Structure 1
Amino acid sequence: MEPVRSGCFCAFILFLAVRLRAADCAKVIVGDPFKIPISCEPGRLLRDLGDDGTREIATGQSGQWKVSREEDRDRIKIDSSNIVFTHTLYTDGGIYELTCSTSGTKETIQLEVVVASEKSVTQGDKVTLPCYFKTIRGTGLPGWWERNGNETPADRLTVSTDWITTGDLSLTIDGAQPEDSGDYFCYTQDGKRSGNPAAVRLTVTEKKSHQIISSTAAPGNIFTWVLAAILLVLIVALLYLWCCKLRNDRVKL
């Protein structure tokens, strides 16, 4: 699946492995894999450290790419066409530059690593995914949600109509289904502001057949117990009346 791109617009790419092109800005959840395509050889992948200069992440020459630092080799791997961060760290966020020595071209990747809130519910439950923005005097940019790279449909999903006033853009899903599982991001129209939390990972567990049977049978069980209690009271009452009758008969004798 092709990545979402729009110039310097920070597209929220929610794939488990994110593929990028030049001048892309991506968000990835901490701990998820992250891929940077290798488009040339020889070349270098550098990370911009700001005032501290740059750090070499990987180099490619003589038909082979390799990870530069020994301490990175346990979690950064090279396959036939990608540099793969197998387990993205929060500190991996920043600007990366892939330089092709032969052509002199450069590809810039701005990576933001975010922490996801996690929600787990059972099929059919209502669930609210939290998201808050700081708004000032009831003004702010329009905001919305995306799931797995696609804007969420309106069916069964609601947000507060006055979220710009309250700052609460939390998303409510009524009757969650297994296909609703995924990574949800909320953001403003210009894509420059993330909500708090920046992402929510939702897991919807399918309701098992025995759960459905037990839940539907519950009202019947209650009725059975009520009926049994009534019968027990009647039996006790009849026994009491019978005992009273026997006592009266003995007195007469």
Structure 2
Amino acid sequence: MNLILQFAMILAMILHLDGKSVRGIVGDRVQFPVNCPMNGTAELYLEDGTENPPRVAARRDGVCTPGDGFTDRLDLNSCFSFSRSLYTDSGLYESRCGGGGRDHIQLDVVVASESSVSEGEPVTIRCYYKTAGGGQVETLRWEKSGVMVLEVNLSTKEITNGTGFEGKRLSAAGATEGDFSLTWAQAQVQDEGDYFCSVRSQGVRRAWGDPAAARLKVIKKDLDPTTPCPPQNRTCGGRMETWITVSITAAVTSALWALCWFLVWWLKFRRPNVSPGPDGGRQLRDVKMGLLTNGNSAGPQTNGSSKV
């Protein structure tokens, strides 16, 4: 029985070389690529070297059932995914379909460094690996979203950049100091993401760098309203036109208020340029009294007769 078990483990390791690989950062969501028909049976097991490995999850006729120890982290909607990965989740898993199909899936949950830079600033994300006495490894590779960013041949020191990552380069220290940090001159918004550093032999990953991953955050720069607008920037141009309109309106309003106050002052304090004569005051009073007398119907009669 022990020989059968050992043979099974060796077979699993051989299949792993041609099997599927999943990687994630501690605390992130992890999805297992289980390709079984939805209307059939599918199971996922964690290989632990025993005859009865623990079952992670099972799906029968579209209904997902979590295994013991995975209830609080298993996403029942997709069934074969962890909503929150642990460092101890790393290992070899096996998916089994009802029709007899089996696949081995290697999961690596790694620790990542975290850094943030502003758009346009230089970037350096760290990775170290000791090449001397580290086994038969051929290359060190940086990847982002499963795409090669840069790869260096540890023997010839030849560096190959991936498509779209031509501006990326390695630290000048290199293999002499075990420093394989990735650097470039100016951060762009599209540079944001997770980068993984690993060493390989014959195209197969043999080990991770230290740290194995780097999570980069790029802070986008906003235009300063006082900064001249870039050419053909309609948004900024509209903002400038708005400020000009407001300034003109304020100036015209201030001018109108000043004119109104001046007119009020002029009407209030101006004096007629006429001097009353010696008897001008008396004549003016007589005119006023005459107007008052004629306008009073109950007043005394002026026809020359007296009332007895």
Query: Which TM class, normalised by the smaller chain length?
Result: 0.5 to 0.7
Q: Which residue is equivalent to 2:45?
A: 46
Equivalent in 194, 211, 233 of residue 197 of structure 1: 211
Range moving further from structure 2, 193-202 or 59-68: 59-68
Question: Cα distance, 1:174 vs. partner?
Answer: 0.8
Q: Which residue is equivalent to 1:150?
A: 147
Aligned partners of 1:183, 1:212: CA distance in 2, in Å?
35
Aligned partners of 1:212, 1:97: CA distance in 2, in Å?
60
Aligned partners of 1:175, 1:189: CA distance in 2, in Å?
29
Q: Which residue is equivalent to 2:65?
A: 66
Aligned partners of 1:171, 1:211: CA distance in 2, in Å?
35
Q: Which residue is equivalent to 2:260?
A: none
Distance verdict in 2 for CA 1:78–1:26, change over 3 Å: same
Is 1:182 the counterpart of 2:193? The answer is yes
Question: Cα distance, 1:25 vs. partner?
Answer: 2.1
* More strand per residue: 1
Equivalent in 72, 76, 92 of residue 74 of structure 2: 76
SS at match of 1:78: coil
SS at match of 1:110: strand
Q: Which amino acid aligns with 1:184?
A: Y
SS at match of 1:179: helix
Equivalent in 79, 102, 107 of residue 103 of structure 2: 107
Q: Which residue is equivalent to 2:89?
A: 92
Q: Which residue is equivalent to 1:230?
A: none
Question: Cα distance, 1:62 vs. partner?
Answer: 4.5
Once the two structures are superposed, residues 120-179 of structure 1 have per-residue CA deviations (whole angstroms, 9 ceiling, x without a partner) of 010111121000111217995222211122122443321136622221110112111111
1:160-239 to 2 correspondences below 5 Å: 160=171, 163-190=174-201, 191-210=205-224, 213=227
Give yes or no for contact 1:35–1:82 (8 Å, CA) kept in 2. no
Question: Cα distance, 1:34 vs. partner?
Answer: 1.4
Q: Which residue is equivalent to 1:131?
A: 127
Range moving further from structure 2, 44-53 or 89-98: 44-53
Q: TM-score, normalised by structure 2?
A: 0.56
Structure 1: stretches of 5+ with no match in the other structure: 1-6, 10-21, 215-253
CA RMSD of aligned residues (A): 2.8
Q: TM-score, normalised by structure 1?
A: 0.67
Aligned partners of 1:183, 1:54: CA distance in 2, in Å?
32
Aligned partners of 1:165, 1:144: CA distance in 2, in Å?
17
Question: Cα distance, 1:73 vs. partner?
Answer: 2.5
Q: Which amino acid aligns with 1:208?
A: D
Q: Which residue is equivalent to 2:24?
A: 28
Structure 2: stretches of 5+ with no match in the other structure: 1-14, 150-163, 229-308
Larger C-alpha radius of gyration, 1 or 2?
2
SS at match of 2:131: coil
Once the two structures are superposed, residues 17-72 of structure 1 have per-residue CA deviations (whole angstroms, 9 ceiling, x without a partner) of xxxxx821222111111112351422321111235851111123354221122x52
Give yes or no for contact 2:125–2:214 (8 Å, CA) kept in 1. yes
SS at match of 2:115: strand
Once the two structures are superposed, residues 165-223 of structure 1 have per-residue CA deviations (whole angstroms, 9 ceiling, x without a partner) of 22111011211111110111122233212110000000110112129949xxxxxxxxx
Give yes or no for contact 1:126–1:174 (8 Å, CA) kept in 2. yes
Give yes or no for contact 1:48–1:96 (8 Å, CA) kept in 2. yes
Q: Percent identity at matched positions?
A: 34
Aligned partners of 2:49, 2:97: CA distance in 1, in Å?
21
Q: Which amino acid aligns with 2:216?
A: L
Give yes or no for contact 1:38–1:83 (8 Å, CA) kept in 2. no
Distance verdict in 2 for CA 1:49–1:140, change over 3 Å: closer
Q: Which amino acid aligns with 1:201?
A: R
SS at match of 1:72: coil
Aligned residues: 193
